[in-house]
Structure 1
Amino acid sequence: MGTGLAAGALSASATAQAQAIGAESARAYDIPPGSLATALNRFGQQSGVLLSYASDLTRDLQSRGLSGSYTPAGALSALLDGTGLEALRQDSGYTLRQRPSGASRNDISTLASVTVTGKASWGLPEAYAGGQVATGSRLGILGNKDVLDTPFSTTSYTAQAIENQQARTLADVLSNDASIRNTSSTGHGMETFRVRGFDLWMGDLAFNGLYGLAPDAHVPLEMFERVEVLRGPSALLSGMAPQGSVGATVNLVPKRAPDAPLNRVTATYVGDAQFGAHADLARRFGEDKAWGVRVNAVRADGRTGVDGQSKTRTLGALGLDYDRGRVRASLDAYALEDRQDGGSVFMAGFTTAIPKPPDGDTNIYAGAENTVENRALAGRLEYDLAKDWTVHAAAGRRLHRYTGTLRGTYVMVAPNGDFVGALRSGNGYSDTNTGEVGLRGNFQTGPVKHQLVLSTTGLTSVTGIVNAVGANYDSNIYDPAPPPLLGIPPRPPKYQEATLTSHAIADTLSFVDDRLQLTLGVREQRVRSKTFSTVTGAETANYDESAVTPAVGVVVKPWGPGVSLYANYIEGLSQGGTVTDVAAPNYLQVFAPYKSKQMEAGVKWDAGRFLNTVSVFQISKPSLIRNPSTLVYTDDGEQRNRGIEWTTAGEAARGLRVLGGASYTHAVMTRNANAALDGNRAFGVPPWTANLGAEWDLPAVTGLTLTGRLTYTGKHYLDSANRLQAPSFTVADFGTRYATRIGGRNVVLRAMVHNAFDRRYWIGGFADGGAQVGAGRQFLVSASVDF
């Protein structure tokens, strides 16, 4: 057995360089895909680092190559990804060995890669094996936490997963999660979700830790580095959700400039004939590259997958950051405009029975249009008062405008598909200011380590809305007639003012070398809300409520760092629900604040390159209930969801990556205005859901990858009376990508088909008795080039 050496030179100066690798300084690498032995040799030439290994270790192994700025440890981790090997640091450099079977990343002497998120990552957790999810995520006021040290169920989807799946909106990336289902179709003007059986509204997304700043209606993923999902209520961690979402908190992490210059252009083709371009540019400059700037610009225009519908999407996003010494700062700004012309899909209610679903590209409202604009500015500052104490502040403002049929696509459908429709048009706005100040510190009392956090948050919003309804007309979902069109209503009057404030304290206590961690916290929360008549402007409601909500979380690692047991109890006070059913007599009514409670326990284990979480949970929450006779909504109901979830991600074998999970949710209405409904299943909550995605790197063709995903949704009731049940369905997505170098440039070609077999199905909507038509088959093609 021979020995391989990879180094810039075996001289005294090279040896000195190798011994100085402890500094872990980053540098730019440009290593093409190919044999692992060749890639390691180029690494040695470019880094000057001594690398020793048995030559038979690399025989017949391939490397995906490397392009960007990395530390030596990070470069080796990326080059060895998927090979089953790991790099061990020694006094004079590195040596290679087989990764021990079942070893965790936490109990072996390997150093993970430095991601291309750059200097201002502010401790952003690294990507896990396979690169599709991260090893941790932000837990609100607690900051970034490793998944095995988190007493909650979390998943953080990376930019790599977003890019390789050609995800354009939030719905595209959340389709990987078995606990989440989209409750609005792809061709609709806005996205809504259900997580653990509860609604997740777009107004409850967090932007870099702050509510009220994320784009409403649709989220363009081109500007984000991570999509972090924290399942369950999280008032202690993130403050109050402005629209009362309970099932999850989704935090969107904006992109930062990497250490190496980035010039990437991506051309896209989607649907029938929608062409687009995305430019992603970044630079770092100044002393120690302390300053960073990243620009993302997107323009897409053309026909969608819905018959006769076209869409124009324009995004400009700027991210500035500074990271040097004790100071870290960032400033983000974006402007987004989505314009949809030529029609819309619809949300259906059913008179007596559920008809067969129409084709997914059916356009019910031919000629309808809507425009959504979002503009925001957000800043964040951190300053280290001392080694273990940091003060931080963040603030931002967002302006949201919309016009057209964004919120008026509901029709009541007869068993033969007939319906009487009326086009609705709206004009609305929402202006939001939000902010947070806080203090984090680490200290020790005897053998107990503490991570103390203090936080104060505030959010104010002013919203306005006006609606117009067109003339009734007869139509059929299988052969839709064009509706009578109507114009945009005049400037909307003010409808609501809301102010949400809170103060929180939390402490994470660590015992016996962090094998036992206990998090205790409490948040005092206040909700003030005024509602006004959209006709007279007179005040119609005035709420001022507050509550103290505790939380406790525990993590135990009884068998070493690779396995953790966890449990939590957490509450949340949220602004009272809003009636969003446009057919309801009390449409847009806002209810008094309500309180939710979660109990959860689970186990997480890291098998080295395979990460799993199994959790059981119960969430109880007051809910809006519709009277079937008057169609009026009230808030005197309670929904209790109990379930078990499994999530998984990583590399099942060399070159085979998986991402998915399964969920069972038993959602029951425990108290209802109509006692006859007590004990019924909650509408729109499938008991069984499962997702399984896979990527396979073909050994015979370096750089070629096949991808696929199966999504199963079980049968579920569409109404509280449990008279209407949608059947189960499975959707299949397939794709491929090819990474290569052309003319000395990195090039990635991607192709994908969603709903490959064009399956037709109904899925429960966000309103009682309603359902959405599933999106039909859709093709996506893209080409990315780094200049």
Structure 2
Amino acid sequence: MLIQNNMTPTSFADHIDITAGPGMGTRGSASRSGSPGGVVDIISKVAPKDHNVLNYTQTFSGRGSFRESVDASTRFGENNTWGVRVNGAFQDGEQVVPDEKNRVKDIYVNIDHEDNRSKTNILTGISDGHRWKETRMFNFANYTGTKLLKTPSIDKNYAYPDNEWGVRTFLFTMNHQQKLTDHMELFANYGYAYNKGYAYTVKGSWSVLDEEGNFASSKSSSAPYALRNRFLQGGLKADFNIGETNHELVVAYDTSSMDGLWDNETRDGKPIKLPGGNIYDFPDMPSGVIPNHGVKLTGSTNSYGISAVDTITFNKWILVGGVHHHRMSYGEFGGDRVVSKATSPLWGVVYKSNENLMFYGNHSEFFDKGTFLSDKQYVNPGILPPAKTKQNEFGVKYMKNRFLTTLSFFDIQTERTFTYDLGREDEKKLAVKDGWNKYRGVEWTVNGKIAPKWDVIGGISYLTTEQKSQDFYNGKALNGTPKWNAVLGLIYKPNEDVSLIGRMQFVGATSFYTNNHVSIDVPSFTVWDFGAQYKTKAFNTPVTFSAMCHNAFNRAYWNFNGSNGFLSRPRTFVLSASFDF
């Protein structure tokens, strides 16, 4: 329901659930582009049943960014069946990069009701996020060098003066469960979100040309927009026994839609021309904002789906089997539409050898809605056919005494959409669907208590990628995809009031191809973060002081995705004080 970006509101979030594999079959048909690897659910905070919440937190970060947040809850009614929780936040100020600013305002209300026969949760609220002068991406598709140039200063701002992005969001969701019997219940889920990009004057990246750091002249874009999302799902859950097997059956129907609205007059207007220069001696950029003429309905996506999944338990075995059928319709307003439909199987198996050890495997398949190509950005406007994803995973999990470790092997195939940068003056690109991208790898994760005063969270993964196509890239690895990734976090608690935190993130070496088919190596990098937390009382009020230092050694590095290199952010301090009244 929300736009996936760095302004997604989080003040109402209690935790995040990630569903992958067969479990995605009952999550509904999303109106999305790109083949999903999983579904992310943001679980809202609800009013606790045993106490009321009243918390105030003040946070400082960067060069002068202050954030205030309030969290309050109460319960009422017979047996406290009703609960209300309110979360609000305000943030404003300069980030760690000079002249980069961020302002956030949001307020969300969660209302829940639970009795012996039903459970209902309603979340609604508004948020407003606005960012200025934030550009850290450099494109190397037209790079003529043979080795990657060194990073420029990570303490400088590389945006042009009027770079800004503002998004205002209204959100409403409702979830309801109604018991019919002790073994059967109905459920319904509804969501509506309106995301309005009221300020959108950006330059996404600079095109780096050579090892000396020269970059090409270009233009900014200004295109206010809005996205309207709706989702409705209803279904039945039932559990029953057949012989010695227990069954948990879920049958669901869902429908969703997404309307895209754009400021067409602005998009057709004259862009702001930006001069070329050198990233080591970044030039002054001209200012200017194209007027906002409002938004008009441009295109829409509608999807419908039905799914049935049965989870069967028998002795030490858990078997999951199901099917998901969906239909999607996608097109421009008043124009032709592309309709796709498919039936996708899904299955999984779990074997619990004992109370601590289990083995598992699963298979799932999904389609996206197709990709819209506008005539403003592509030389081949229209709609690309829906892309299919196939996922296979198997592994082993071990849990004992609050410690969990998982070893998993995975094989994922996604249909390949490739975008060619043609080097045109109007910056239009060519997008085609051609072959498959294959991902194969192994991942080992650990999480939990390893000693009386020590907790650990982390993992290491090895990934190989391959492109299957009819062009130069056939058989080659995906651009900017490292084989090795690792993260390790340690928490030391000398007593109940003090916590010391250390975290290491490692991203292995990778490479990418330029448009001239020259392979450029990208070195690995390691980033260290350190922090501490102290719990005490101030005037009989519990307070928690926290301090965190990100990129503690101020490491400068390139982090690549495809042929785009993202410049690291400098060392950042975050300080906070949280009061529980």
Q: Which residue of 1 aligns with 2:397?
A: 604
Q: Contact (CA 8 Å) 2:29, 2:255: kept in 1 or not?
A: no
Q: Contact (CA 8 Å) 2:35, 2:388: kept in 1 or not?
A: no
Q: How far did residue 406 of structure 1 move?
A: 6.5
1:712 aligns with 2:520: no
Q: Choose which of 355, 360, 366 in structure 2 pairs with 1:561.
A: 355
The one-letter code sitting in structure 1 at the alignment partner of 2:367 is: L
Q: Contact (CA 8 Å) 2:232, 2:256: kept in 1 or not?
A: yes
Inter-CA distance 445–523: structure 2 relative to 1 (3 Å threshold): same
Q: Contact (CA 8 Å) 1:235, 1:572: kept in 2 or not?
A: no
Q: Which residue of 2 aligns with 1:779?
A: 573
1:219 aligns with 2:2: no
The one-letter code sitting in structure 2 at the alignment partner of 1:223 is: F
Inter-CA distance 564–314: structure 2 relative to 1 (3 Å threshold): same
Inter-CA distance 435–407: structure 2 relative to 1 (3 Å threshold): farther
The one-letter code sitting in structure 1 at the alignment partner of 2:371 is: G
Q: Which residue of 2 aligns with 1:306?
A: 97
Q: Contact (CA 8 Å) 1:217, 1:372: kept in 2 or not?
A: no
SS at match of 2:140: strand
Inter-CA distance 231–475: structure 2 relative to 1 (3 Å threshold): farther
Q: Which residue of 1 aligns with 2:325?
A: 524
Q: Which residue of 2 aligns with 1:443?
A: 240
Q: Contact (CA 8 Å) 1:751, 1:781: kept in 2 or not?
A: yes
Q: Contact (CA 8 Å) 1:577, 1:624: kept in 2 or not?
A: no
Inter-CA distance 477–731: structure 2 relative to 1 (3 Å threshold): same
Q: How far did residue 568 of structure 1 move?
A: 0.4
Q: Distance in 2 between matches of 1:487 and 1:524?
A: 46
User: Deviations 1:688-732 (Å, cap 9, x if unpaired)?
Assistant: 000001110125xx5111101100001122347561232100000
Q: Distance in 2 between matches of 1:585 and 1:703?
A: 61
Q: Distance in 1 between matches of 2:195 and 2:3?
A: 10
SS at match of 1:236: helix
Q: Which residue of 2 aligns with 1:698?
A: 494
1:688 aligns with 2:478: no
1:770 aligns with 2:561: no
User: Deviations 1:446-484 (Å, cap 9, x if unpaired)?
Assistant: 111000000111111110224352113123222322322
Q: Which residue of 1 aligns with 2:29?
A: 240
Q: Choose which of 135, 138, 153 in structure 2 pairs with 1:344.
A: 135
SS at match of 1:452: strand
The one-letter code sitting in structure 2 at the alignment partner of 1:365 is: A
Q: Which residue of 2 aligns with 1:756?
A: 552
Q: Contact (CA 8 Å) 1:236, 1:571: kept in 2 or not?
A: no
Q: Distance in 2 between matches of 1:233 and 1:715?
A: 33
TM-score (norm 2): 0.92
Q: Contact (CA 8 Å) 1:390, 1:439: kept in 2 or not?
A: yes
Q: Which residue of 2 aligns with 1:422?
A: 219
Inter-CA distance 410–583: structure 2 relative to 1 (3 Å threshold): farther
Q: How far did residue 772 of structure 1 move?
A: 1.2
Q: Contact (CA 8 Å) 1:318, 1:332: kept in 2 or not?
A: yes
Q: Contact (CA 8 Å) 2:137, 2:564: kept in 1 or not?
A: no
More strand by percentage = 2
User: Deviations 1:381-422 (Å, cap 9, x if unpaired)?
Assistant: 110000011101111210011144466412211222221232
1:365 aligns with 2:159: yes
User: Deviations 1:727-779 (Å, cap 9, x if unpaired)?
Assistant: 100000000010122222211000001001111111123xx422211222111
Q: How far did residue 582 of structure 1 move?
A: 8.7
Q: Contact (CA 8 Å) 2:175, 2:189: kept in 1 or not?
A: yes
SS at match of 1:632: strand
Q: Contact (CA 8 Å) 2:259, 2:299: kept in 1 or not?
A: yes
TM-score (norm 1): 0.68
Q: Contact (CA 8 Å) 1:410, 1:582: kept in 2 or not?
A: no
SS at match of 1:397: strand
Q: Which residue of 2 aligns with 1:229?
A: 18
Inter-CA distance 692–583: structure 2 relative to 1 (3 Å threshold): farther
Q: Which residue of 1 aligns with 2:308?
A: 505
Q: Choose which of 295, 313, 322 in structure 1 pairs with 2:86.
A: 295
Q: Contact (CA 8 Å) 2:35, 2:387: kept in 1 or not?
A: no
Q: Which residue of 2 aligns with 1:454?
A: 251
The one-letter code sitting in structure 1 at the alignment partner of 2:576 is: S
Q: Contact (CA 8 Å) 1:332, 1:377: kept in 2 or not?
A: yes
SS at match of 1:338: strand
Q: Contact (CA 8 Å) 2:26, 2:252: kept in 1 or not?
A: no
Inter-CA distance 239–716: structure 2 relative to 1 (3 Å threshold): farther
Q: Which residue of 1 aligns with 2:175?
A: 380
Aligned residues: 560
The one-letter code sitting in structure 2 at the alignment partner of 1:492 is: V
Q: Choose which of 239, 247, 251 in structure 1 pairs with 2:41.
A: 251
User: Deviations 1:486-512 (Å, cap 9, x if unpaired)?
Assistant: 324422332211001100001011111
Q: How far did residue 639 of structure 1 move?
A: 0.2
SS at match of 2:79: helix
SS at match of 2:25: helix
Q: How far did residue 220 of structure 1 move?
A: 2.9
Q: Contact (CA 8 Å) 1:613, 1:646: kept in 2 or not?
A: yes
Q: Which residue of 2 aligns with 1:619?
A: 412
Q: Distance in 1 between matches of 2:380 and 2:100?
A: 32
Q: Distance in 1 between matches of 2:221 and 2:422?
A: 23
Q: Distance in 2 between matches of 1:694 and 1:227?
A: 21
Q: How far did residue 590 of structure 1 move?
A: 3.8
Q: Which residue of 2 aligns with 1:6?
A: none
Q: How far did residue 232 of structure 1 move?
A: 5.7
Q: Which residue of 2 aligns with 1:544?
A: 339
SS at match of 2:519: coil
Unmatched tracts of structure 2, length 5 or more: 424-428
SS at match of 1:750: strand
The one-letter code sitting in structure 2 at the alignment partner of 1:483 is: M
> Percent same amino acid at aligned positions?
26
The one-letter code sitting in structure 2 at the alignment partner of 1:693 is: G
SS at match of 2:185: strand
Q: Choose which of 29, 44, 54 in structure 2 pairs with 1:263.
A: 54
- The residue correspondences of 1:633-712 to structure 2 (distance < 5 A) are 633-672=431-470, 674=471, 676-699=472-495, 702-712=496-506
User: Deviations 1:269-303 (Å, cap 9, x if unpaired)?
Assistant: 01110011010001111111100000100001110
Unmatched tracts of structure 1, length 5 or more: 1-211, 533-537
Q: Which residue of 2 aligns with 1:146?
A: none
User: Deviations 1:62-83 (Å, cap 9, x if unpaired)?
Assistant: xxxxxxxxxxxxxxxxxxxxxx
Q: Which residue of 1 aligns with 2:426?
A: none
Q: How far did residue 231 of structure 1 move?
A: 4.5
Q: Contact (CA 8 Å) 1:213, 1:396: kept in 2 or not?
A: no
SS at match of 1:288: helix
Inter-CA distance 249–333: structure 2 relative to 1 (3 Å threshold): same
Q: Distance in 2 between matches of 1:635 and 1:396?
A: 32
